[in-house]
A and B are shown apart, each in its own frame.
Chain A
Amino acid sequence: GQQLNQSPQSMFIQEGEDVSMNCTSSSIFNTWLWYKQDPGEGPVLLIALYKAGELTSNGRLTAQFGITRKDSFLNISASIPSDVGIYFCAGQGGENNDMRFGAGTRLTVKP
């Protein structure tokens, strides 16, 4: 099935910098989710968004559910080395009543 369009594919940043990544879809979703995956591990849920326009924070992470229900972004402020990993967006429910993932954003943080 059609996956979500996630960008950028990868980012190389300096410790302390802010990071922004986003996801877009041609379909409407009821829920947007952001996961982080470390090598050899399963994805770990970071933030869940349930309402269009919702802006939610979890520590240094902030995510928003787009008004059109077809997009979402994730911001990480003041990055630290342990932020390294692959970040996935996911859209759940909606028109297809399933779950679709973005291809992931690989984040590298240089100390």
Chain B
Amino acid sequence: DSGVTQTPKHLITATGQRVTLRCSPRSGDLSVYWYQQSLDQGLQFLIQYYNGEERAKGNILERFSAQQFPDLHSELNLSSLELGDSALYFCASSVEGFSSTDTQYFGPGTRLTVL
């Protein structure tokens, strides 16, 4: 158990819909990261938040957005869903961020299926 929690574990929805994925970081970690893992693209970094502020952006689509709340939990919002958005979405947390030497610990993931 990494200490990072994600809900829900599974999500099935239809094209065009909007969903919200939730992540609680490890106690004491200020950074939260979101990743997408699909069969054809592997693990892709989406976005990082540090202490409530966006810190780094990766391959995140405009239809996706995220935020980190004062209690440090984070939500990833996916809208206008397409079939190709079906994937595993992982959250990870670390004490600081990419520029430091600390490391990320991953949650169990949310499996999103878009029908």
Q: How far is the CA of A44 from the CA of B106 in the complex (A)?
A: 7
Q: How far is the CA of A108 from the CA of B9 in the complex (A)?
A: 27
Whether A98 lies near B56 (C-beta < 8 A) is yes
Whether A98 lies near B109 (C-beta < 8 A) is no
Across-interface contacts of A30 in B (CB, < 8 A): 99, 101
Q: How far is the CA of A3 from the CA of B33 in the complex (A)?
A: 17
The yes or no answer to B25 lying at the interface (CB within 8 A) is no
Whether B109 lies near A45 (C-beta < 8 A) is no
Q: How many residues on the A side are at the interface (Cβ–Cβ under 8 A)?
A: 26
Whether B99 lies near A99 (C-beta < 8 A) is no
Whether B106 lies near A42 (C-beta < 8 A) is yes
Whether A88 lies near B98 (C-beta < 8 A) is no
Using a CB-CB cutoff of 8 Å, which residues 36-69 of chain B contact chain A?
42-45, 48, 56, 58-59
B69-109, CB under 8 A of A: which get 1 and which 0? 00000000000000000000010100000111101111111
Distance in angstroms from A30 CB to nearest chain B CB is: 7
Q: Which residue of B lies closest to A51 (CB)?
A: B101
Distance in angstroms from B5 CB to nearest chain A CB is: 11
- List A residues at the B interface (Cβ < 8 Å): 1, 3, 30-31, 33, 35, 40-45, 48, 50, 88, 90, 92-93, 97-104
- 18 further interface pairs, Cβ-Cβ under 8 Å (given A42-B109, A93-B100, A99-B58): A1-B44, A3-B42, A33-B103, A35-B106, A42-B2, A42-B107, A45-B104, A48-B103, A93-B98, A97-B56, A97-B98, A97-B99, A98-B58, A98-B98, A99-B33, A99-B104, A100-B45, A104-B42
